[in-house]
Structure 1
Amino acid sequence: MMSQQIKISDHQSKSILEILKAGTALSHQEAEKKNLAKKIIDHTISLEEYKKLLFINWKAYRSIEQYLYQNKHILPNELTSLVSYDKSNRLQKDLNALGVLLDHSQENSISCPENSSVDSLIGFLYVIEGSMLGGMLIAKHISQCPSLEHIRNPYFFSGKSKDQMKNWKEFCMYLNNQKYTESNIQKALDAANKAFTFFS
């Protein structure tokens, strides 16, 4: 995990979102290097690679969503609406439509932090809610991939941005209205960096 130790005194002029973005940049880049989504952008992905991408994403989102759901009770009310199985359920629908049956015994094969805190939950939410913005871009390229041109109206890469943008804006608004200590930020960063490794 590429977690960066930070000093809050070095970031007094930055928002929490800016600190999270900077502090997870290396993990984000590493995840993108290994992620098959880039082959959708350049239209070279095969159908089998697309299935693999959906499966990796399902496994990652399912693990994170389970972790968030199990610890939903410690989240502030403003963030509880973001906790659901929506992302992994949509991925499962896409996989089922392509004839892939999932083994749910694999759901817990990725381990989340044992010591949960609001800060760690925020770190995970930052990654999965932010990732949906990239998913909106990917959605525009699905129909342009020769091996995927038969896929109509995917559930996950749907390109339906209204709800995704609403969730992201609410999340950002909440973060920007809070005050954080160096310890709070570090815990959120550690969790966000771990979350990025799930997508590798």
Structure 2
Amino acid sequence: MLNKLREATKAQHEALEGENLANKIMDHSITEEEYKLLLLQNHAAYAATEDSIALHLKNYSSTKTHAIKLDLLSLGIEKAETSLEFQCVNEAEAVGAAYVVEGSAMGGLMIGKELKNCPHLEHLPDQQFFSGKRDQIKSWNEFLKFLRNKDFTEDQKEIAARKAQQTFDLFEEAFKIDLIKL
């Protein structure tokens, strides 16, 4: 399953990495307003996906949406909504979506390590979503263990791969959200 998901999403993954504001954290050029937008974009994507995944995967408990809400509160943003629609209808779809959602933790770990090196963000309190702490990847490791210990049919692999691609599409849509006024 893991190989199928990697192969099906490789091009989207590479494209998405180059198209979002997180790159400005990596090169330390991000402003506080851009960081707020990045958090709001991520909130839109994770809020749209996490609950639907949890409906179909036993023991799934991602906390990304909650962590983003805490960071937004620390920046004075009390309300964050999403208009993005997303739904998983079975376990295979939830696996595909979770691959994208949980897999993002690896990039988030690297991004979090660079956050305090950004001159416009160094005054922020410790962040929850981009914390830079290794415990961020705990749920990714649990997800990998789940994948390795479960047998999937070829049909389930195809369904999961399509949903992973749709999930990347949703994240791409979220990263196009622009800040109107905070």
TM-score relative to the length of structure 2: 0.87
- SS across alignment from 1:24: helix
Q: Which runs of 5+ in 2 are unaligned?
A: 173-182
The match for 1:170 is: 142
Cα drift, residue 133 of structure 1: 1.2
The match for 2:8 is: 23
User: RMSD across aligned C-alpha pairs, in angstroms?
Assistant: 1.6
AA aligned opposite 1:128: V
Cα drift, residue 170 of structure 1: 2.0
Taking the aligned partners of 1:29 and 1:95, their CA distance within structure 2 comes to 27
- SS across alignment from 1:133: helix
The partner residue of 1:133 within 81, 106, 111 is 106
Taking the aligned partners of 2:150 and 2:39, their CA distance within structure 1 comes to 35
Taking the aligned partners of 2:121 and 2:170, their CA distance within structure 1 comes to 25
The match for 1:99 is: 76
The partner residue of 1:111 within 85, 106, 113 is 85
The match for 1:32 is: 17
Cα drift, residue 193 of structure 1: 1.1
Cα drift, residue 152 of structure 1: 2.6
Is the 1:35–1:199 contact (alpha carbons within 8 Å) kept by the matching residues of 2? no
Taking the aligned partners of 1:83 and 1:116, their CA distance within structure 2 comes to 18
The partner residue of 1:122 within 53, 75, 95 is 95
Question: In the comparison of the two structures, how many residue pairs are matched?
Answer: 172
Give the percent of matched residue pairs that are identical in Structure 1 and Structure 2: 37
Please tell me whether residue 190 in structure 1 is matched to residue 170 in structure 2.
no
AA aligned opposite 1:121: A
Cα drift, residue 157 of structure 1: 0.8
Cα drift, residue 47 of structure 1: 0.9
Is the 1:17–1:175 contact (alpha carbons within 8 Å) kept by the matching residues of 2? yes
Cα drift, residue 181 of structure 1: 2.3
Is the 2:9–2:161 contact (alpha carbons within 8 Å) kept by the matching residues of 1? yes
Moved over 6 A (4+): none
Please tell me whether residue 89 in structure 1 is matched to residue 66 in structure 2.
yes
Taking the aligned partners of 2:150 and 2:60, their CA distance within structure 1 comes to 17
AA aligned opposite 1:193: Q
Q: Which has more radius of gyration?
A: 1
Q: Which runs of 5+ in 1 are unaligned?
A: 1-15
Taking the aligned partners of 2:125 and 2:59, their CA distance within structure 1 comes to 29
- SS across alignment from 1:146: coil
Please tell me whether residue 180 in structure 1 is matched to residue 180 in structure 2.
no
Taking the aligned partners of 1:134 and 1:57, their CA distance within structure 2 comes to 13
AA aligned opposite 1:127: V
Taking the aligned partners of 2:14 and 2:138, their CA distance within structure 1 comes to 25
AA aligned opposite 1:66: D
Is the 1:68–1:83 contact (alpha carbons within 8 Å) kept by the matching residues of 2? no
